[in-house]
Structure 1
Amino acid sequence: MHHNAKRTAVRTLACAAVPMLLVAGCSGGSGEDDSAKPSPSVSSSSAPPSPAPVKFTTLPDPCKTLSKKTIKDVVPEAKEAGKNLGSEDADGYGTCLWSGLDGFQYRALTVSLKRFDSDVTLGSGSERAAEYAGQQVAAVSRDGEHEKVKEVPLDGVGDQATSISFETKKKDGKKTEDYREQRVVALDGNVVVTVEYEGAGFETGETPSAKDIREGAEKAAKEAVKALE
């Protein structure tokens, strides 16, 4: 009896020394491994990921992105209202065209807006927009009809912008005209603004200078990006 009491005391002390989670084992519980049971605080299912928030959820009318003064300066004799080329998704895409002929001087300007939403499989709206902007820039040099392509960054326009100058020839009946052109691609959040500006001198008119075409396109791009706000 003395030895049995001593063994009981040793067992009691041993159980008191182990962590609380093992006390049940020491006290002769059911013997089941409680650690294998799912925790009641952990949900068996997780909520699906949500798309990242975007900066812009709508787009302005592309024909209202430029002031009357800018249109008059850049495209003389153009209709101030411009021609909205239309889109089934006005909050996702839109383009406006202004064109005019002042004597023998021809000018044409387009402002295109493209907005991207976030998608859990395709990426955030800003990531998708950045990819599209890169494609718009690269497309100029990939076109074999474009000559003297020059690409430079344009600071202070959206999050980032690129201005590309180039020359091309277009047929007007049997006659070929020399055109100077400029494309400005600006990224602002999840929206890409693409401005195309071109000029030519018909008949006895002179081909416009590269400087005039570049300045006109960049002026329009800066104003169009501000119109997003």
Structure 2
Amino acid sequence: MHRSASRLTRVLACAAVPVVLAVAGCSSDSGKDSDSGNGKKSDSSASAKPSGKASAALEKATYATLPDPCKALQTATIDSLVPEAKDKNGAAAKSNDLANRSGCAWNGLDEDGLKGSQYRWLQASFWRYDSQAALGSADKRAEENYNKQVELAKTTQGAENVKAEPAEGIGNQGTSVVYSVKKDNVDHFNTTIVARTHNVVITLDYNGAGLEGAAAPDQAKLLQDAMVAAKEIVASVEAANQQQAQQPQSESPQPQ
């Protein structure tokens, strides 16, 4: 059964609001030096005096780069989670710092004639952190944003029946948050997986809805599929950094 272009546009408007890629805890510490702002002369002898405690060197960030967000999931995974995806290559999120913030989203409408349609929306978002003296170690900064993203998922506007649980086996930390949101009298079932692998935080948002009389998706199945995809995304972070580490070796001249 054919659907009009205006009908498809209205249906796709039901997608969840994309996650805003925001880095937590990046405020400047430039205002802490109040002496210079008050016209006081700094005491050079005091500044040179040892504190008595050796400052611990910040650990080097484990991961130096992020994977291509639209290639972090295999094509077979996209086909499984988002049947009839409008663009299997995904739509990359806008970012002016792809080494530290990136994301990609897919959506699809699987029509089945008089039985209605199944709508699916999937988004992967990435944040990467470096160690900075004023802000802390890379892992600590990532953990702070991990906790922030979990809270954001739990407090999604309009969310009902929110349930958060540990997501085992996904990076160093993992949490799943499931809930439902009603839009245009249609229940959208949402799953968010938040994971941290060392200094990288990942969120995978996955939701589905049955439209035009189609049965509602199985929320347990949505969660199971999201967990599988999240593990694949975490693995893509390690693979991207291994590839980068090997790049100089492949470009170096071979011994004669």
Q: Shared fold by TM > 0.5?
A: yes
Q: TM class by shorter-chain length? A: 0.7 to 0.9
Aligned to 1:5: none
Shift of 1:143: 3.1
**Gaps in structure 1 of 5+ consecutive residues:** 1-42
| Residue among 141, 146, 153 paired with 1:140 | 153
| Residue among 61, 70, 76 paired with 1:54 | 61
RMSD: 1.9
Aligned to 2:179: 166
Aligned to 2:93: 85
Aligned to 1:105: 118
Aligned to 1:188: 197
Cα distance in structure 2, aligned partners of 1:124 and 1:54: 8
Partner amino acid, structure 1, of 2:98: A
Partner amino acid, structure 2, of 1:180: F
Shift of 1:49: 7.0
Cα distance in structure 2, aligned partners of 1:140 and 1:58: 25
Partner amino acid, structure 2, of 1:187: R
State whether structure 2 residue 131 is matched by structure 1 residue 118. yes
Shift of 1:179: 0.3
The structure with the largest alpha-carbon Rg is: 1
Aligned to 1:12: none
Aligned to 2:230: 221
Q: Is the 8 A contact 2:154 2:164 kept in 1?
A: no
Identity %: 39
SS in 1 for 2:237: coil
The CA deviation string for residues 109-147 of structure 1, in whole angstroms up to 9 with x for no partner, is: 001111011111111110011110111111123235111
Partner amino acid, structure 2, of 1:152: E
Aligned to 2:170: 157
Cα distance in structure 2, aligned partners of 1:185 and 1:135: 10
Shift of 1:160: 1.3
SS in 2 for 1:108: strand
* Count of aligned pairs: 183
TM-score, normalised by the number of residues in structure 2: 0.68
Cα distance in structure 2, aligned partners of 1:45 and 1:156: 45
The CA deviation string for residues 69-120 of structure 1, in whole angstroms up to 9 with x for no partner, is: 1000000011221111121100001010010000110000001111011111
SS in 1 for 2:145: helix
Aligned to 2:28: none
SS in 1 for 2:195: strand
The CA deviation string for residues 182-229 of structure 1, in whole angstroms up to 9 with x for no partner, is: 000010000001000000011111211111210121111010000001
| Residue among 66, 70, 73 paired with 1:63 | 70
Cα distance in structure 1, aligned partners of 2:108 and 2:147: 30
The CA deviation string for residues 3-27 of structure 1, in whole angstroms up to 9 with x for no partner, is: xxxxxxxxxxxxxxxxxxxxxxxxx
TM-score, normalised by the number of residues in structure 1: 0.75
Cα distance in structure 2, aligned partners of 1:76 and 1:144: 27
The CA deviation string for residues 127-179 of structure 1, in whole angstroms up to 9 with x for no partner, is: 011110111111123235111111111111111101111111123xxxx2110
Cα distance in structure 1, aligned partners of 2:50 and 2:163: 54
Cα distance in structure 2, aligned partners of 1:112 and 1:61: 11
